[in-house]
Amino acid sequence: MELIGFVHVGNTFNERLIARVYRKVNAYFKSKYLPIRLVYLGELELGPGYLVNIQTKEGSVKGYPLEGITELLHASLIHKQEELMQKRRIREERKEDKSKNTSRMNKIFGIVNFPLVSRNPYLDFYEKFLGIQQNFHDLRVMVISIKPFEDKNEEIFEKRLFKGILHEIGHAFGLDHCQNDCVMNPPKLIAEWDLRKEDFCKECFLELKENVEGKND
């Protein structure tokens, strides 16, 4: 089983909506018989010093520095791995663990409520930006801002975020962008994202299934 740590980063708004999306993602993978599950690790608190101001054509925008967020998530993942290994050792010493547990957690997914900003030129996060991934050797960090997906209609908001999470998880297991009606087809405008189905296309799903099951052999 491929376990992906899932955390709120900072004071994330719409926690009930995000909880629904979290359950929906796990239900999706379960219904597709894919050995992928999100594991909720709680909230990572950020001090006010993490927020930075970026000047854009639309004026000043507050955001989180991407580099700082990915490093924070990386540290959290290492801590969780050490915690899981310690629990495993204790069970083995007590001879309580008789199963061959092949579950692993080498990925973490962070949700933030402000745009992500970088030392790179400012991107149009509200229209084109879905998420960022970074590898730390064999560990992978994924982070996504809810900002591009926000809508007064919570059903629309929820669908957008659900597709965004599937998109990033797809990348984490080796999928590239595609041109089909698929969550791996990135939009140029958020309106295009609303038209995407809440699923992988057949080709992307088969590649995802092969990549995931290959890792669990």
Q: How confident is the model at residue 130 (pLDDT cuts 50, 70, 90)?
A: low
The pLDDT of residue 122 = 47
Residue 124 has pLDDT above 50, yes or no: no
Lookup result for tokens 């084109």: 128
Give the helix/strand (H/E) hosting 83: helix 66-93
Instruction: Tell me the C-alpha distance between 143 and 70, whole Å.
Output: 7
Closest CA to 1 of 114, 122, 100, 112: 100
Residue 119 has pLDDT above 60, yes or no: no
Residue 161 has pLDDT above 70, yes or no: yes
**Mean pLDDT of all residues in 102-111:** 87
pLDDT in tens, 27-76: 999 999 999 999 999 888 877 677 777 776 777 777 777 778 888 899 89
User: What domains does the chain contain, in order, with CATH numbers?
Assistant: 2-160 (3.40.390)
What SS3 string covers 29-55?
Answer: HHHCCCCEEEEEEEEECCCHHHCEEEE
**Mean pLDDT of all residues in 93-120:** 74
**pTM confidence score:** 0.86
Instruction: Tell me the C-alpha distance between 36 and 125, whole Å.
Output: 28
Q: Could you tell me if 180 and 204 are in contact, meaning their C-beta atoms sit under 8 angstroms apart? A: yes
What are the Cα distances from residue 161, in Å, to 5, 22, 42? 17, 10, 18
Phi, psi at 41, each rounded to 5° = -110, 5
